[in-house]
Structure 1
């Protein structure tokens, strides 16, 4: 039996040209491992990596493969592409399923017939692994059951839910051989002396934070209860990535350091087993002690990313961050003192934010001096808590970087202001000198990619679409 899994990454709005890296679809890799363990031959395509191929080209490739099972992972902005791909593949594959954080929000459209054809035969709701495991006997027969928890089969159908997977160790290791070496780009600094070959790892699931702007899709998929894999299994996965030629890892957990005790145990096992490769992770903007940061550094931690969001305590309160400017300042200093590079996420344009408070944010960025700064314009995602607080700002066409429609003049001003800050920050002698001192070897080792990224960033700073 043959399965084809596709991450449908086409569809960014033409105006959404903020420089970015891409992240491997770990949920697809996890499902691939389940299928492979059951004897299926699995291919995984990521249209993000094949962005030069238009939709019809991908459709013809699917038709040529004629898989017994096609699993599509749509993103919110790729709904149309997913529908076209699913319908075009109807006569050329056995069953078509959709899954992923955005799939439940697109399920009705994907399952609504158009000219007697739906885009998919079913949608996996929530964590897909348990449902996929139970579906294996039916999939082997190219059939779907009439009813199954976690499986939506019709637009108006609300399937019975499944409990979140408590024992993540029971799942097989994700099929890293389908991801490592595929060309995923990672744009945060890592202490890699050689051409970067990044691997991605999901070591935990769940996030209980209540940030007002957060898109709920991931939270709906993984829940708010924090669950993690055992340290040895995570180290096994890093070893596997290294065997496949990977030389760095990005932990894509929503909140990697929720449990400092868990992080310490993982770092100790990495050191004991001598699996030391550079890695990065997302943490909260406070709560990491000097002792833990030093241990993380010895275990390979190269870069930490956190959402500082604002230089104003009042705005942080509006965003429900549960952190103060002083705590962010302290955590940034501790991270730097440990020799770990810092990526800072910030938001401008929060409703009610004054021009003076926005300037406080720019000044605060200059003060804590992250190695990478990402400035986002406030936006409202479908289902986010901010929808209730600011319903007039919601528009489905909005994206993470361009913001919703309806505030065109303000958004244009914010975007112009943001680009000017980027240009000033990244070309300052202080920043250039610090970056070259720390990163001259990785920059030289990855010169073609770095120059390409610098060129795209320069176009963005200059406002060139």
Structure 2
């Protein structure tokens, strides 16, 4: 379970402004509708964040809050609100949306709500005035991320989140002792142009926290919660090599005995950088490899080569770091031979962990717009309900839906069973995690979604022969 950093950052900013704040993590807490109503009944403002896959749940929670107290101002934020602000205000009972990076905007908005001010001068919001909806210009991104206070983790039950998340990758940290890990983020923005990636939240301009600021947060978490394992959720943690070198040196200077994981990019890694990262406690790096076909990588505008992948994976292993990789199939114009190349390339790399997925064009991406133009996706809010179950669109050149399912089952056999064993579904750790998921269900719709997903997993499992 990951700390909801977006909510925690917003909460921290608002708390610093003198507001009484409560965080309700619907993913971590078992909150019934009645319990939710009791907790929000006296609130002046309720903010809701959500991904595109949570569209229906965002609408449902908005309705519950308005039914509880119609005077509560409901503010929607996150990727869903950023992608479709106008449409969300039209179809939901929400009063406002915050578009993109929210810390500065939400502070201005809450202040204006409390004082009854005009909202027209607040950048980065959408609001209703009767039947009229207005969307203001987006503000400039926050240039200095060091000025943002640390996430308000004290408003969460951290016992829900502090765990050995390295187990998710079947990692073994021999000689290190008990690992208590959590997630944090050290940078925002990405300058690359991958067609499948959603960048509207943080933008194209990369901004990084200073090494001192990062290590200060790590030391705080170590002292307060005993956390000694860190998952950096940045899209491009390694973009500024000098920053990474400084960060690694500072960790060693402070003698902070920790392990950590980050996302890397194969075109940015060097042997020297990887060696420095290992000496500073880096145990795993995940690379977005995506495909074993150079033609497909070029079509995705990934800006990497297969040779860079081979070299970087080799260097990562030589440095003593576990190399993990993420791949996709079902790409635009992809052929069966391309998918075969991807499977063969993945086997050749012999990674510590494999993550495979069927391509899903997300609203707000170049890939999604192309699919809309071809008539493969409806560009309206009615179709968003399908995203609650990870809708996939077949954009390949010569693969039927049945072909893609067959490839998915083959990948499952070759990589999931290889990593976790033939009887992984009966592994105590897996069963414990599955039980937690089942107990966290909020309503019948979530139960139905889980049942559908479980059915798919079981079908894949029994097709392993």
Structure 1 length-normalised TM: 0.81
Q: How does 1:15-414 map to 2 (within 5 A)?
A: 23-50=2-29, 53=31, 56-57=33-34, 59-64=36-41, 66-90=42-66, 91-92=68-69, 94-112=72-90, 119-141=93-115, 145-154=119-128, 156-179=133-156, 180-183=158-161, 186=165, 187-190=168-171, 197-215=180-198, 219-242=199-222, 243-390=224-371, 391-392=373-374, 393-394=376-377, 396=384, 397-398=386-387, 402-404=391-393, 410-414=400-404
Q: For 2:285, what is the secondary structure of its paired residue?
A: strand
Q: 1:462 to 1:84 in 2, by over 3 A?
A: same
* Corresponding residue SS for 1:237: helix
1:86, distance to aligned residue in structure 2 (A)? 1.8
State the 1:368 CA deviation: 0.7
- Contact 2:265/2:288 (8 A) holds in 1: yes
Question: Whole-Å Cα distance in 1 between the matches of residues 333 and 389 of structure 2?
Answer: 19
Could you state the TM-score of these two structures normalised by the residue count of structure 2?
A: 0.81
Does the aligned pair in 1 maintain the 2:79–2:200 contact within 8 Å?
A: yes
* Cα distance in 1 for residues equivalent to 2:284 and 2:267: 15
- Paired positions, count: 419
1:16-36 CA distance string (max 9 Å, x none): xxxxxx543322111111122
Provide the alpha-carbon RMSD of the alignment: 3.1
Give structure 2 stretches of 5+ with no counterpart. 379-383, 436-453
Deviates more, 1:402-411 or 1:166-175: 402-411
Instruction: Give the whole-Å Cα distance in 1 for the aligned partners of 2:400 and 2:364.
Output: 23
Q: Cα distance 1:137–1:387, how it changes in 2: closer, same or farther (>3 A)?
A: closer
Q: Is the 8 A contact 1:68 1:94 kept in 2?
A: yes
Q: Is the 8 A contact 2:245 2:276 kept in 1?
A: yes
Deviations 1:94-143 (A, max 9, x none): 43211112212343344237xxxx52221111211111232353344477
Q: 1:82, 1:119 within 8 Å by CA — same for their partners in 2? A: no
TM-aligned CA deviation for residue 254 of structure 1: 1.1
Task: Quote how far apart the aligned CAs of 1:460 are.
Answer: 6.7
Give 1:145 shift: 3.4
Matched position secondary structure for 1:134: helix
Question: How much does 1:362 deviate?
Answer: 0.8
Q: Deviations over 1:400-454 (max 9, x none)?
A: 95512799982343133222222233434xx579xxxxxxxxx9xxx84345459
Do the aligned partners of residues 250 and 34 (structure 1) sit closer, same or farther apart at CA in structure 2, a change above 3 Å counting?
same
Which blocks of at least 5 consecutive residues in structure 1 are unaligned?
A: 1-21, 434-442
Separation in 1, partners of 2:331, 2:120: 46
Asked if the contact 2:330–2:395 (Cα under 8 Å) also holds between the matched residues in 1, the reply is: no
Kept in 2: contact 1:124–1:151 (CA 8 A):
yes
